[in-house]
């Protein structure tokens, strides 16, 4: 395989859940060496599990993706089999260190000395209490790039507030704007879109800072408030407020001007298609796809303005048609007629989808504790650099030998001592939740 | 003004709508020199998309366009005219990155495919953003933000079981694709600098969702592991957790499993720690136990505002957040203290508050040097630098090239 563009860049991370890990996933996928510094004593909620050794009854009482262990069985090493973790941890290395001991900090600093970037996404005070601030790290390595990405950033009244992506979706204003019309926001489902925005911004920030460092020799601190990475996406609502003093409410699946614009039931159980018609040409395409029913010639639907005004009735009539057909069939016939439409894919559909298959999106990986499965692949393609997932999601402490012996130059005797002192291990310490 | 991280990068931008322009906005806001090309007369279609300043649908008053195009120089160029393509090729010679988000057949049909442009500028990083990528059976399919969420993202599991799947707000999928494209641009540029040769990047908006980090990949992996398809979940499915009404709106609170002791502390009801059902993780997973606990939680929330609940929860380090409206956001003390909102002065609308930096680089700050360009505002500057005297600009204008 061709040399990957980011080979030679080393990133040390103390990252949890998704936002930080997604930033480094994007960089690891393209060749950066990403070392996860973990601990066998402390596990952050939803990183390698809701709790680290969940009983089988707990997993089976509520079967959701938050508990999706192989065959709904947490097995002997659930911390190596947690889907939330497996989603980002390919192509990365894992080592363990107990940062609550002075020796752990000393080891961490030695690793920093050999790194280009340190990235973390803990609550602000967590790193401060460990003494792992930018001021401290730059004494160890003057041109270090440190990326801190707590939920609300490293300054301001909420700097220590705890949050998951779902909470940030709420406090950034998104949840308010994406519930069903006429229903309360509880129906909107926890989504975690700010993990994606913060992660991608973290990767972008890392590459921008590297460019500046390579040009000037200077490192820097980057302060990312995860919530603020998503807020620009909502400019349509916030600028409607700053320009027009309007407080937008949720459009549900509708659009301010387009109609039809919605999600319609199809044949089969829980099958759906989305359709978005933006102009008369697309409306005519929709009519052709439906075999030009008489109702579509009605004055109520003759132009875009009328269609928008009679949207309830329009939606009902369209759903009468879609519900007689397979969701993929509706998408194909509409796209053939030039109408934006998409089947709403569930997990099965995604793995069978002809387009993702044609683009080779899913990739088979064998993991030592989970077996062989298909995983979502690399996000984009580059013409001169074919790419694929190189190593499976990292097991806890899997790369301790490499990190301690090859990078830090620790002797075999010292390694054994560090195992005894609780730094090095591949299993959570007894009694840890 | 402080030096910016990307001030040594030159970008040619032939993007429209949202995904492409947000990619180049990120590059521009952190220092890159971005020249945005629009079609003569009409310009970027986002100029005709709302909201508009004072609800006046004028092409220089679109909030969407103005937000997405800060710090860019704007020129007009008709790529369908031979003279327009000639100027385009002259511009390509002098840039590091070219970003386009037309449907895949467009650039090749104009004779502006990567192979041709690479010959003019061997180190060129060309970023092509499209709905479904440059190859594959859906290549020429049409899409909107909702269509991308349905096909690439976790729309199927967004919403409640009794209702249809629910989309996200407005253009958020396209914005996210724009950030991913900005990351890809920087990755490719890093490689191109080392290697001395460029690269063509194929960004499929569908795949920025399918490979992004919201629930999609986790659900896909969970399905591979368990064989069970992830569904939309009913409201109130989780113990002591969810979005609940309070005195002045809605607030989210997460008090199950390891957080239950914090919940008890917040409520000031230590006796609940001894409760046979509430304090047992396995019991907590049962719907009837979750429902039973609400008889304690809901009245407590009804007496408090969303801000009060949020503060009480955070004081015991419990996960919680208010359901903010756009008005709450603009008034929030934290975002204001961090100077998130910025005033930008625009020649047509005057000063307006915009969303500001998505992240802060302390040594090389995010800066607004100029507002979004008026249509063709920088024609004279840019074409002048290429050596076209003013007289030529008049001819090009008359010929419909600029």
**Once rounded to an integer, what is the mean pLDDT over residues A327-354?**
98
- What's residue B59's pLDDT? 97
- What's residue B257's pLDDT? 82
pLDDT mean across residues, chain A: 97
Q: Which residues lie below 8 Å from residue A375, measured CB to CB, with a gap of 6+?
A: A86, A90, A362, A363, A364, A365, A389, B217, B220, B221, B224
- Asked if the B10-213+338-398 domain carries CATH number 3.40.50.300, the reply is no
Please indicate, yes or no, whether the overall pTM of this predicted structure exceeds 0.90.
yes
Give me the residue spans of the domains in chain B: 10-213+338-398, 241-325
List the beta bridge partners of residue B200: B126
pLDDT digits (tens, 9 = 90+) for A100-148: 999 999 999 999 999 999 999 999 999 999 999 999 999 999 999 999 9
Query: Closest approach of chain B CAs to the CA of A426, in angstroms?
Result: 22
Spatial separation of the C-alpha atoms in residues A40 and A92, rounded to whole Å: 18
Radius of gyration of chain A (CA): 25
The 10 Å Cβ neighbour count of residue A328 is 18
Spatial separation of the C-alpha atoms in residues A321 and A265, rounded to whole Å: 9
Give me the residue spans of the domains in chain A: 10-232+361-420, 271-345
Q: Provide the residue count of chain A.
A: 433
Whether the CB-CB separation of A375 and A389 falls below 8 Å is answered with: yes
Whether the CB-CB separation of B20 and B4 falls below 8 Å is answered with: no
A239 and B318 in contact by Cβ < 8 A?
A: no
Whether the CB-CB separation of B364 and B4 falls below 8 Å is answered with: yes
Residue B282: band (very low, low, confident or very high) from pLDDT cuts 50, 70, 90: confident
Q: Chain A partners of B219 at a C-beta cutoff of 8 Å?
A: 65, 68, 83, 347
Phi, psi of B82 (to 5 degrees): -55, -45
Spatial separation of the C-alpha atoms in residues A37 and A409, rounded to whole Å: 17
A218 and B363 in contact by Cβ < 8 A?
A: yes
- What's residue B281's pLDDT? 82
The residue among B220, B237, B255, B294 with the most chain A CBs within 10 A of its CB, best to mutate, is B220
Q: Chain A partners of B325 at a C-beta cutoff of 8 Å?
A: 173, 176, 247
Residue A329: band (very low, low, confident or very high) from pLDDT cuts 50, 70, 90: very high
pLDDT digits (tens, 9 = 90+) for A26-81: 999 999 999 999 999 999 989 999 999 999 998 998 899 999 999 999 999 999 99
Q: Which residues in chain B (293-332) have CB-CB distances under 8 A to chain A? A: 314, 317-330
Q: Which residues in chain B (144-203) have CB-CB distances under 8 A to chain A? A: 144, 146-152, 154-160, 163-172, 175-176, 179-184, 186-192, 194, 197, 199-203
pLDDT digits (tens, 9 = 90+) for A264-285: 999 999 999 999 999 999 999 9
SS3 B100: strand
SS3 B54: helix
Tokens representing B99? 């970003």
SS3 B230: coil
The residue among A232, A257, A308 with the most chain B CBs within 10 A of its CB, best to mutate, is A232
Residue B337: band (very low, low, confident or very high) from pLDDT cuts 50, 70, 90: very high
Spatial separation of the C-alpha atoms in residues A399 and A378, rounded to whole Å: 23
* Of residues A193, A220, A335, nearest to B168 (C-beta): A193
The residue among A88, A126, A204 with the most chain B CBs within 10 A of its CB, best to mutate, is A204
Radius of gyration of chain B (CA): 26
| The pLDDT of residue A1 is above 70 | no
Whether the CB-CB separation of A84 and A46 falls below 8 Å is answered with: yes
* Strands, sheet with B319-322, edge to edge from the N-terminal-most edge strand: B241-246, B249-254, B319-322
Q: Which residues in chain B (31-90) have CB-CB distances under 8 A to chain A? A: 50-55, 63-64, 66-68
Whether the CB-CB separation of A423 and A96 falls below 8 Å is answered with: yes
SS3 B253: strand
* Of residues A170, A274, A345, nearest to B323 (C-beta): A170
Q: How many CB pairs under 8 A join A and B?
A: 521
Residue B256: band (very low, low, confident or very high) from pLDDT cuts 50, 70, 90: confident
* Of residues B160, B188, B361, nearest to A5 (C-beta): B188
pLDDT mean across residues, chain B: 96
Residue B234: band (very low, low, confident or very high) from pLDDT cuts 50, 70, 90: confident
| The pLDDT of residue B1 is above 80 | no
Spatial separation of the C-alpha atoms in residues A36 and A27, rounded to whole Å: 13
Domains A10-232+361-420 and A271-345 share a fold: no
Provide CATH code, domain A271-345: 3.30.1540.10
| The pLDDT of residue B134 is above 80 | yes
- What's residue B236's pLDDT? 72
A209 and B364 in contact by Cβ < 8 A?
A: yes
By C-alpha distance, the chain A residue nearest B32 is A208
What superfamily in CATH does domain A10-232+361-420 come from? Crotonobetainyl-coa:carnitine coa-transferase; domain 1 (3.40.50.10540)
Q: Which of B317, B97, B81 is nearest to B188 (CA)?
A: B97
Spatial separation of the C-alpha atoms in residues B43 and B35, rounded to whole Å: 14
Give the H or E element holding residue B13: strand B10-14
| The pLDDT of residue B25 is above 70 | yes
| The pLDDT of residue B285 is above 90 | no
| The pLDDT of residue B162 is above 80 | yes
Q: Which residues lie below 8 Å from residue B115, measured CB to CB, with a gap of 6+?
A: none
A196 and B141 in contact by Cβ < 8 A?
A: no
Whether B289 contacts chain A with CB within 8 A? no
Q: Topology of B241-325 in CATH?
A: formyl-coa transferase, domain 3 (3.30.1540)
pLDDT digits (tens, 9 = 90+) for A172-225: 999 999 999 999 898 899 999 999 999 999 999 999 999 999 999 999 999 999
A168-171: list long-range contacts, CB under 8 Å, 24+ apart. Answer: A168/A194, A168/A226, A168/A227, A168/A230, A168/B321, A169/A193, A169/A194, A169/A230, A170/B243, A170/B252, A170/B321, A170/B322, A170/B323, A170/B324, A171/A227, A171/B321, A171/B322, A171/B324
Q: Which of A82, A46, A122 is nearest to B238 (CA)?
A: A46
Q: Which of B231, B232, B230, B171 is nearest to B205 (CA)?
A: B171
SS3 B353: strand
Residue B258: band (very low, low, confident or very high) from pLDDT cuts 50, 70, 90: confident
- What's residue B80's pLDDT? 96
| The pLDDT of residue A262 is above 90 | yes
Q: Determine what percent of chain B is predicted with pLDDT higher than 90.
A: 93
Q: Which of A193, A184, A224, A182 is nearest to A206 (CA)?
A: A224
The residue among B183, B193, B206 with the most chain A CBs within 10 A of its CB, best to mutate, is B183
The position carrying tokens 């999928």 is B173
């Amino acid at each position: 395989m061709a040399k990957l563009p980011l080979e030679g860049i080393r990133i040390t991370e103390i990252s949890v859940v998704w936002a930080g890990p997604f930033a480094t996933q994007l960089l690891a996928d393209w060749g950066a060496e990403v070392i996860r510094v973990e601990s066998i004593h402390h596990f952050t909620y939803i990183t390698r599990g809701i709790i680290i050794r969940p009983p089988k009854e707990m997993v089976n009482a509520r079967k959701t993706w938050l508990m999706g262990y192989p065959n709904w069985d947490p097995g002997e090493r659930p911390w190596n089999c947690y889907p939330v973790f497996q989603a980002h941890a390919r192509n990365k290395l894992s080592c363990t260190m107990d940062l609550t001991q002075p020796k752990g900090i000393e080891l961490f600093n030695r690793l920093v000395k050999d790194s280009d970037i340190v990235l973390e996404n803990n609550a602000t005070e967590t790193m401060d209490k460990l003494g792992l601030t930018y001021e401290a790290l730059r004494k160890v390595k003057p041109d270090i790039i440190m990326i801190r990405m707590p939920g609300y950033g490293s300054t301001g009244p909420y700097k220590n507030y705890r949050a998951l992506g779902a909470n940030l979706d709420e406090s950034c204003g998104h949840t308010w704007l994406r519930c069903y019309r006429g229903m309360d926001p509880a129906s909107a489902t926890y989504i975690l879109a700010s993990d994606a925005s913060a992660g991608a911004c973290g990767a972008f920030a890392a590459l921008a800072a590297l460019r500046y460092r390579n040009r000037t020799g200077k490192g820097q601190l980057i302060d990312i408030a995860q919530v603020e990475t998503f807020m620009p996406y909502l400019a349509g609502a916030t600028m409607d407020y700053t320009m027009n003093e309007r407080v937008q409410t949720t459009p549900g699946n509708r659009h301010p001007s387009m109609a039809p614009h919605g999600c319609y039931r199809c044949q089969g159980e829980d099958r759906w298609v989305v359709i978005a018609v933006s102009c008369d040409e697309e409306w005519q395409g929709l009519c052709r796809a439906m075999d030009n029913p008489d109702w579509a010639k009605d004055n109520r639907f003759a132009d875009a303005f009328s269609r928008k005004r009679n949207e309830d009735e329009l939606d009902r009539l369209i759903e009468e048609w879609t519900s007689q057909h397979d969701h993929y069939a509706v998408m194909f016939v509409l796209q053939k007629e030039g109408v934006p439409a998409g089947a709403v894919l569930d997990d099965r559909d995604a793995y069978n989808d002809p387009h993702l298959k044609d683009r080779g999106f899913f990739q088979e990986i064998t993991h030592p504790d989970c077996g062989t499965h298909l995983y979502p692949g690399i996000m984009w393609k580059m013409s001169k650099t074919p790419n694929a997932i190189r190593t499976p999601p990292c097991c806890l402490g899997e790369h301790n030998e490499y990190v301690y012996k090859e990078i830090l130059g620790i002797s075999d005797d010292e390694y054994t001592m560090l195992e005894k002192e609780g730094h090095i291990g591949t299993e959570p310490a007894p009694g840890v939740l | 003004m402080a030096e910016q991280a990307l001030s040594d990068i030159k970008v040619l931008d032939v993007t429209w709508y949202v995904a492409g322009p947000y990619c180049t906005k990120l590059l521009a806001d952190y220092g890159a020199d971005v020249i945005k090309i629009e079609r003569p007369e009409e310009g970027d279609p986002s100029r005709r998309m709302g909201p508009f300043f004072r609800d006046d649908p004028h092409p220089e008053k679109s909030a969407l366009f103005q937000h997405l195009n800060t710090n860019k120089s704007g020129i007009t160029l008709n790529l369908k005219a031979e003279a327009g393509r000639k100027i385009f090729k002259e511009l390509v010679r002098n840039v590091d990155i070219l970003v386009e988000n037309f449907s895949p057949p467009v650039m090749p049909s104009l004779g502006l495919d990567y192979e041709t442009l690479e010959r003019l500028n061997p180190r060129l990083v060309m970023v092509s953003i499209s709905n479904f990528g440059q190859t594959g059976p859906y290549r020429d399919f049409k899409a909107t933000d909702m269509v991308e969420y349905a096909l690439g993202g976790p729309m199927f599991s967004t919403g409640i079981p009794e209702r249809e799947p629910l989309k996200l707000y407005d253009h958020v999928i396209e914005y996210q694709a724009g950030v991913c494209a900005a990351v890809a641009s920087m990755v490719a540029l890093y490689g191109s600098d080392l290697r001395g040769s460029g690269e063509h990047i194929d960004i499929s908006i569908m795949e920025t969702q399918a490979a992004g980090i919201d629930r999609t990949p986790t659900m896909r992996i969970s399905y591979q592991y368990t064989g069970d398809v992830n569904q939309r979940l009913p409201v109130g499915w989780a113990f002591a957790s969810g979005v609940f009404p309070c005195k002045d709106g809605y607030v989210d609170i997460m008090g199950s499993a390891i957080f239950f002791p914090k919940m008890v502390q917040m409520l000031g009801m230590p006796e609940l720690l001894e409760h046979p059902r509430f304090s047992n993780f396995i019991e907590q997973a049962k719907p009837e136990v979750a429902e039973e606990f609400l008889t304690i939680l809901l009245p407590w929330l009804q007496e408090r505002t969303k801000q009060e609940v949020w503060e009480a929860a955070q004081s015991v380090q419990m996960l919680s957040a208010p359901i903010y409206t756009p008005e709450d956001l603009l008034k929030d003390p934290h975002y204001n203290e961090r100077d998130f909102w910025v005033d930008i002065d625009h020649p047509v609308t005057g000063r307006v508050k915009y969303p500001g930096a998505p992240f802060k680089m302390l040594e090389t700050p995010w800066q607004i040097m100029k507002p979004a360009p008026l249509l063709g505002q920088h024609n004279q500057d840019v074409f002048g630098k290429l050596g076209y005297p003013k007289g030529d600009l008049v001819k090009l204008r008359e010929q419909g090239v600029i």
